[in-house]
Amino acid sequence: METVNVKINGISIDVPKGSTILEAARLAHIEIPTLCFLKEINEIGACRICVVEVKGARSLVASCVYPVSDGMEVYTNSPKVLASRKQTLQLILSDHDRKCLSCVRNGDCELQKLCKDLNVDDETLYEGEQNQYELDYSSAHMVRDNNKCILCRRCSAVCEHVQDVGVIGANERGFKTNISCAFEMGLGETSCVSCGQCIAVCPTGALFEKDFTDEVFEALSDPDKYVIVQTAPAVRAALGEAFGLPIGTNVQGKMVAALRRLGFDKVFDTDFAADLTIMEEATEFLDRVQNGGTLPLITSCSPGWIKYCEHYYPDMLDNLSSCKSPQQMFGAITKTYYAQKMGLNPENIFMVSVMPCTAKKFEIGRDDQNAAGVPDVDISITTRELARMIDRVGLNFLALPDEDFDDPLGRSTGAGVIFGATGGVMEAALRTAVEVLTNEELPKLDFKEVRGTEGIKTASYNVAGMDINVAVASGLKNARTLLDEVKSGKANYHFIEIMGCPGGCVNGGGQPQQPASVINTVDVRAVRAKALYDIDASMPIRKSHENPAVKQLYDDFLEKPGSHKAHELLHTTYVKRSINSL
C-alpha cells in the first residue's frame, strides 16, 4: 500500500495515501471530534466541528473530508482550532431549543457532549432570532422536532442513500433552511417506511420514537389487565448498551428479570413466534415450489421492508410471504390459543412487544392484525423505551440475576434467535425446509454463506435433487438493487430474505443509539449479530420444527402448518401504495 508521511501535532506517521486527516489522526491515536460526518453516508464537511490547522493552508480545513499529502503538518488542538470549534457550537446553540433537561437525549446527546468537551460556557452568547417549528406527530412511529435540529443532514443522507426513500431533506436556504418533507407534508403523508434509521443517526433530540412508556405503566397498574410482554431476538443483544455494557453483550437473563420486576404478568419471547413463522413460511415456500406458486418468495418479517415494497414495488406484493411478522403472530397466538388455554378473556389481555424497531409501531395498526377480534399487539415499544422504563423504576439492571422466560411461549430455538441478524431468517428457514424436503437430519446446521453484514448475499443449495437459489438483502437500497435484478430477469432466486435495516434487526431504528464516533469506527451490526449467533450455537435445540412448544401448539390448536386455522390467525394481506401522494 502506498503511504505518505504526515506530522500530526508533531508526531510523524506514515498513513495510507488518500486517507483523510481524520483517518490519519486516528492512526496517531488522536480523535478529532465530528458532528455531521458519517462514514460513507454523510461526508459533506458541513458542520465545521472537525476543523484542524494545516501548515500553509489559508484557513482551517474540515478534517473529515480533507485528504492528507506527503509532508503535511497538521495541528488538531491549536488555540485557533479550539476557539473555532467552540464558536461553531455557540452559533449552533443560538438557534437550538436548549430545553436539555426535558429532552429525550438528555445525557446521550452528541451536541451536549461536544459542548461539555469544548468548554462551551455560555449557550446564550449569540442570542438572536430563533426559528420556531411545529412538531410533526403525523407518523405512527416517530416525532420530528426541528427546534432541536442542527442541520447536520445525517438523517436525510441515511434516508436517501442507505434506505433509498428520501422523504426528508433540506428545504429553503440560509436561516430558513430546515429538514422536512416536500411541500411541508407531515412524515405520515409521505412514503416514509417507518424504519427509524434517521433516529438511529440523529445526534440530538430532533428525531425520536413516539414514546408509549406511560401507557405501558398505566396498563401494568390496571388490576383488570393481564399484561404480557414479548421481546424480539435483537433486543437482548443491544439493551445492555443503554446500561454501559459493551456492544454485543447478551443480556437476555437480566432483561427477563427486569421485565418481571416491572410487573408483567408473563414474560414471553418473540423467538417462539419466530419459530412459528418458520413453520408457516417454510410450508408456504415448499407449497409454492411444488405447486407452481409465485416465486421468488420474499420474507415478510420486517414491517419497514413491507411498507417499502407496498410503496415502491406494488407489482411484487404477490411475492411477499403471506405470513404475519413474528410480533403479530405472537399477539395472535397469545390472544387465541394462550387465552383459551388459561381461561383468559382476550379483551383483558394487554400485549406489549419490545422491539429493536420503530416500524413495529406502524405495523400494530395495520388492517387485518386482530386474530381474536382485538388488536394482536396493543403497544410496541423500542429497546430504548424499555431501557427508560427500567431506569424510571430504579432497577439496578447490572445487578439483576439472570432469569428464564415463562412457559410455554417463552420456549424457543437457536433458529428463532438468529432472526435478529441479516440472513438469520433464511438460515432458520433452510434448517427446516431442507430437513422436510430430504426427510433426513442435517449433518451441519450452519449456513454460513448467508451470514455476515454485506448488503446482498447469495447462495445455491442442492436439496433433494433440486437447486434452490437464495438471496439475502438488508437495507432498502440493497433491496432495490436485488429486486431490480429479479424484475429484469437477470437473477433467478427461489427464496429471498429482506430486512429493512442494514444488518437486520440488530441495527434497527429502535436500538440504543451509538454516537457517530462509534458508528464510524466499529461495525456495530456485526458485533451485535455475533451475540445472537453465539446464543444459537449454545442452544440445545436449533431447529424451529423441533421447538416442543410450537409442536404442541400445532397438536392442540392449529392442526398443521398452513392449515385453514393457521391461515386465519397467522397470515395477512398487503396493500398497494404510491410513492407520491398526488
Partner 1 sequence: MGISQKTVPFAGTKQQHEELLKVINQHKGDHGALMPILQEAQAIYGYLPIEVQTIISNEMNIPLEKIYGIVTFYSQFSLSPKGKYTISVCLGTACYVRGAGDIVNKLEDILKISDGECTEDGKFSLESCRCIGACGLAPVLTVNDDVYGKITADDVEGILAKYE
Q: Are strands 51-54 and 61-62 parallel, antiparallel or unpaired?
A: antiparallel
Q: Are strands 349-355 and 379-382 parallel, antiparallel or unpaired?
A: parallel
Among the residue ranges 133-141, 226-234, 408-416, 438-446, the one whose residues contact partner 1 (CB under 8 A): 133-141
Judged by CB under 8 A, the residue of 14, 117, 134, 402 near partner 1 is 134
Rank residues 177 and 573 by Cβ distance to partner 1 and give the closer one.
177
Among the residue ranges 181-189, 193-201, 288-296, 409-417, the one whose residues contact partner 1 (CB under 8 A): 181-189
444 binds partner 1 (CB under 8 A): no
314 binds partner 1 (CB under 8 A): no
186 binds partner 1 (CB under 8 A): yes
Measure the CA–CA gap between 423 and 73, rounded to whole angstroms. Answer: 46
Rank residues 202 and 531 by Cβ distance to partner 1 and give the closer one.
202
Strand order in the sheet with 73-75: 11-16, 3-8, 73-75, 51-54, 61-62
Judged by CB under 8 A, the residue of 189, 211, 485, 523 near partner 1 is 189
Site for partner 1 in 511-570 (CB under 8 A): none
Measure the CA–CA gap between 527 and 237, rounded to whole angstroms. Answer: 9
Helices (H), ranges, 13-78: 21-27
1 binds partner 1 (CB under 8 A): no
Cβ 209 to partner 1, closest distance in Å? 18
Site for partner 1 in 458-517 (CB under 8 A): none
Rank residues 169 and 408 by Cβ distance to partner 1 and give the closer one.
169
Measure the CA–CA gap between 512 and 509, rounded to whole angstroms. Answer: 9
167 binds partner 1 (CB under 8 A): yes
Cβ 176 to partner 1, closest distance in Å? 9
SS3 13: strand
Measure the CA–CA gap between 198 and 208, rounded to whole angstroms. Answer: 9
184 binds partner 1 (CB under 8 A): yes
Half-sphere exposure of 560 (CA within 13 A, CB side): 2
Among the residue ranges 95-103, 119-127, 169-177, 195-203, the one whose residues contact partner 1 (CB under 8 A): 169-177
In this structure, what DSSP letter does residue 222 have?
A: -
Rank residues 103 and 168 by Cβ distance to partner 1 and give the closer one.
168
Cβ 473 to partner 1, closest distance in Å? 19
Element (H, E) at 277: helix 270-291
Judged by CB under 8 A, the residue of 78, 87, 94, 171 near partner 1 is 171
CB 142 within 8 A of CB 358: yes
Measure the CA–CA gap between 103 and 405, rounded to whole angstroms. Answer: 33
The cell numbers describing 477, all together, are 437500497
Residues that bind partner 1 (CB under 8 A): 134, 136, 138, 160, 165-173, 181-186, 189-190, 579-582
